[in-house]
C-alpha cells in the first residue's frame, strides 16, 4: 500500500527519487499520467492495467468517455525506475501540471500523486476543510 506525504525535488533532468519504502510496487514499471485534480499520477504497471481496463470499457460512442480517454491516455508515459530509484517525469507533464522543482509525493493507496509543493499545500487546506463533510455524505449513502 502506498501511503504518506514526501517532499522531494525534481533534478535538472526531471528525475524524481522515490523514497525507498515506495519503490517496491514499481519494480515492474511505472506509468505516469496527468491526474484529474491538477497533479500527476504514477501507477505501478499492474495497477495501471486495471485502471486502463476500466477506462477502456467505457462506451466509445459517449463524448464524455472519449474526453476521459484522451485526458488519461494521451499524456501517459511508461517507464522504469533507475538503479537509484528515480523516475523520469516527462517535461510535457511537468509543464502541464505546473510543477516547479519542489514537489510533494503522496501515497493514495494504489498509486502516487505528484504535486507542485505549493499547489499541494493549497489542496491540503481544501481537503482538511471538506473531509469531514464528504465522509459523512458517503456514510449516509448506504
The reported pTM is 0.90
Summarised one tens digit per residue, pLDDT across range 55-104 is 999 999 999 999 999 999 998 999 999 999 999 999 999 999 999 999 99
- If DSSP codes are grouped into helix, strand and coil, which group holds residue 9? strand
One DSSP character per residue, 56-86 reads: HTS-TTSHHHHHHHHHHHHT-EEE---TT-E
For cell 491538477, name the residue: 38
Looking up residue 80, the CATH number of its domain turns out to be: 3.40.1550.20
Q: Which of 48-52, 89-93, 125-129 has the lowest mean pLDDT?
A: 125-129
- If DSSP codes are grouped into helix, strand and coil, which group holds residue 140? helix
The answer to whether 103 and 117 have CB atoms below 8 angstroms apart is yes
Range of the domain at 102: 5-141
What is the side-by-side order of every strand in the sheet holding 30-34?
5-9, 102-107, 112-116, 40-44, 30-34, 77-79
Q: How many domains does the structure of the chain reveal?
A: 1
- With a pLDDT cut of 70, the percent of the chain lying above it is 99
pLDDT at 142: 66
CA distance 142 to 135: 12
For cell 523516475, name the residue: 87
Amino acid at each position: 500500500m502506498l501511503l504518506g506525504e514526501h517532499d522531494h525535488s525534481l533534478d535538472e533532468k526531471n528525475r524524481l527519487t522515490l523514497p525507498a519504502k515506495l519503490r517496491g510496487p514499481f519494480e515492474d514499471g511505472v506509468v505516469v499520467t496527468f491526474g484529474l485534480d491538477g497533479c500527476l499520477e504514477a501507477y505501478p504497471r499492474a495497477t495501471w492495467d486495471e485502471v486502463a481496463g476500466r477506462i477502456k470499457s467505457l462506451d466509445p460512442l459517449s463524448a464524455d468517455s472519449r474526453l476521459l480517454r484522451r485526458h488519461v491516455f494521451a499524456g501517459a508515459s511508461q517507464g522504469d525506475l533507475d538503479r537509484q530509484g528515480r523516475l523520469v517525469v516527462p517535461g510535457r507533464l511537468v509543464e502541464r501540471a505546473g510543477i516547479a522543482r519542489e514537489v510533494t509525493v503522496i501515497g493514495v493507496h494504489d498509486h502516487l500523486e505528484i504535486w507542485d509543493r505549493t499547489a499541494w499545500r493549497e489542496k491540503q487546506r481544501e481537503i482538511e476543510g471538506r473531509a469531514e463533510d464528504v465522509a459523512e455524505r458517503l456514510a449516509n449513502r448506504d
